[in-house]
């Protein structure tokens, strides 16, 4: 079988790919791997377990809790909370591991199991591999070592997690949000209670949409993947800005007072300058992926902020931040990591910080986001090609060199093999859309002829 862990935990169609048996077995394996390093020396191991509102989360949570308790781990069930809340509580409560049940921005039938290590940190590849190896070993016949009697784990509902997380969010804000009117689209997801509460406690006038989860409507035509409702609501209510989260609220996109989208690159730019002004942008550097808009890079260069590019995926952004000690990083999708206050992307925190910058400066979001101009970006997927030859084809290299020469300093070319499919992604940025499209189509044709 293929590797169970993907880029963000184990994910699939609930009750088909991701079954109760798989969730239970992975949880026992995770307990053995993540709670074995000294945790059982004189005390019980503890796990924090949370979920988003998907209907399937109910039975999957039961399976995860059963697996952990059967392995001798005490479980704190925090209920429906965002992924970053589970990460925060795992660290704040000194737990040995955390488990979040969510498929993030995916449609309702999907679900996922995401593990956090001590401190609320995402797992390194080697830890995921160990969990998978232990799971496979016991799935194929080797019996688990199971505690009995008083050795089994105890399960407790931990309702205090909600207030602890909200208090954390309010506590790290540099200033209040009084005077701002904000529309929040919660995607009928995990932040449906947390985010409105946090923004209101911070002083904002709050209008909420997409905050009535019924287990079936998560991400359904709303949230960060569908901004139409938020755009309309911001204009209708005369709000200063709108904030959209995804199902597990680790992402944040925004809408200005005129209903125009402000994406993750623009949010990063605004936060970078705000942090630098307060002396909190360590090494005057921001981390983002190779897919970040060239307009972001040019803006940071103009403002004297260093830019570090990573492979696509928030885990690579986080690795670079931790390795070099940087404070801010993120993706165009709105996955922003503010490492002084969170161990992972936190959509509610990002939205609060963005609003705080508006309140602090008295400037509109459109004005603040105007620090960068998004250059037109055209992406073409070229299927059924030999993606392994992207870096070795002389014909393709010559075509890329010619395209880069044509675009000059105000354009960019990126060829990226898909990690999961036999296709190559051709991305071109240019000063205008027509040029970007023309160059992208020309390169896509070369990819087909050279790698087909």
H or E element at residue 77: strand 74-80
pLDDT for 41 equals 52
Average pLDDT taken over every residue of the chain: 94
- Give residue-wise pLDDT tens across range 297-320: 999 999 999 999 998 888 899 999
Q: Do domains 10-158 and 163-369 have the same CATH topology?
A: yes
- What integer is the mean pLDDT of 98-120? 96
Which of these is catalytic: 56, 104, 224, 393? 104
**Which homologous superfamily does the CATH classification assign to the domain defined by 163-369?**
Alpha-D-Glucose-1,6-Bisphosphate, subunit A, domain 3 (3.40.120.10)
Across residues 14-25, what is the average pLDDT? 97
Under CATH, which number does the domain 377-451 receive?
3.30.310.50
- Is 104 known as a binding-site position? yes
Per-residue pLDDT for 42 more than 80? no
pLDDT(39) > 70: no
**Alpha helix positions (H), 118-159:** 125-139
Q: Does 248 carry a binding-site annotation?
A: yes
Is the pLDDT at 420 greater than 80? The verdict is no
Among 76-80, 207-211, 332-336, the least confident range: 332-336
Asked if 81 contacts 194 with a C-beta cutoff of 8 angstroms, the reply is yes
Task: Report pLDDT for 2.
Answer: 61
Residues near 348 by beta carbon (within 8 Å), at least 6 away in sequence: 82, 84, 169, 191, 194, 195, 198, 245, 249, 252
Percentage of the residues of the chain whose pLDDT score is greater than 90: 85
Fold entry, domain 10-158: Alpha-D-Glucose-1,6-Bisphosphate; Chain A, domain 3 (3.40.120)
pLDDT by residue (tens digit) across 175-185?
A: 999 999 999 99
Whole-number Å distance between alpha carbons of 155 and 169 = 27
pTM as predicted: 0.92
State the pLDDT at residue 254: 98
pLDDT tens by residue, 207-252: 999 999 999 999 999 999 999 999 999 999 999 999 999 999 999 9
Whether the Cβ atoms of residue 100 and residue 51 lie closer than 8 Å to each other: yes
Active site residue 104: yes
Domain ranges of the chain: 10-158, 163-369, 377-451
Percent of the chain with pLDDT over 70: 98
Please write down the HEC assignment for all residues of 166-178. Answer: HHHHHHHCCCCCC
pLDDT at 163 over 60: yes
56 is in an annotated binding site: no
């Amino acid at each position: 079988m293929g590797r169970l862990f993907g880029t963000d935990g184990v994910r699939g169609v609930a009750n088909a790919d991701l079954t109760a048996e798989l969730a239970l077995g992975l949880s026992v394996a995770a307990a053995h791997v993540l709670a074995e390093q000294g945790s059982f020396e004189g005390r019980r191991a503890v796990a924090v377990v949370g979920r988003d509102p998907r209907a399937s989360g109910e039975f999957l949570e039961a399976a995860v809790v059963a697996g952990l308790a059967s392995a001798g781990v005490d479980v704190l069930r925090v209920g429906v909370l965002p992924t970053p809340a589970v990460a925060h509580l795992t660290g704040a409560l000194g737990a040995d591991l955390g488990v979040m049940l969510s498929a993030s921005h995916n449609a309702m039938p999907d679900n996922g199991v995401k593990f956090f290590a001590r401190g609320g940190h995402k797992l390194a590849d080697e830890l995921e591999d160990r969990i998978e190896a232990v799971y496979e070993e016991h799935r194929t016949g080797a019996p688990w070592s199971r505690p009995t009697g008083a050795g089994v784990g105890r399960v407790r509902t931990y309702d205090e997690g909600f207030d602890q997380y909200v208090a954390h969010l309010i506590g790290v804000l540099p200033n209040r949000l009084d005077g701002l009117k904000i529309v929040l689209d919660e995607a009928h997801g995990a932040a449906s209670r947390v985010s409105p509460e946090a923004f209101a406690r911070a002083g904002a006038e709050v209008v909420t949409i997409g905050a009535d989860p019924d287990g079936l409507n998560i991400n359904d035509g709303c949230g960060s993947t569908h901004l139409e409702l938020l755009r309309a609501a911001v204009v209708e209510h005369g709000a200063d800005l709108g904030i959209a989260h995804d199902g597990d609220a680790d992402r944040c996109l925004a809408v200005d007072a005129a209903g125009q989208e402000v994406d993750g690159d623009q949010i990063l730019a605004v936060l970078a300058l705000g942090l630098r002004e307060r002396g909190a942008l360590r090494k005057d550097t921001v981390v983002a992926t190779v897919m970040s808009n060239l307009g972001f890079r040019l803006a940071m260069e103009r403002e004297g902020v260093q830019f570090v590019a990573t492979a696509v995926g928030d885990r690579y952004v986080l690795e670079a931040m931790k390795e070099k000690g940087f404070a801010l990083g993120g993706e165009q999708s709105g996955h922003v990591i503010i490492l002084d206050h969170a161990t992972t992307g936190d959509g509610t925190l990002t939205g609060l910080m963005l609003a705080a910058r508006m309140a602090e400066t008295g400037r509109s979001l459109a004005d603040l986001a105007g620090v960068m101009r998004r250059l037109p970006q055209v992406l073409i997927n070229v299927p059924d090609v030999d993606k392994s030859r992207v870096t070795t084809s002389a014909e393709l290299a010559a075509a890329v060199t010619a395209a880069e020469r044509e675009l000059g300093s105000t354009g960019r070319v990126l060829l990226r093999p898909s990690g999961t499919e036999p296709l190559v992604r051709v991305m071109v940025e240019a000063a205008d859309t027509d040029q970007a499209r023309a160059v992208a189509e020309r390169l896509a044709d070369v990819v087909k002829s050279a790698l087909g």
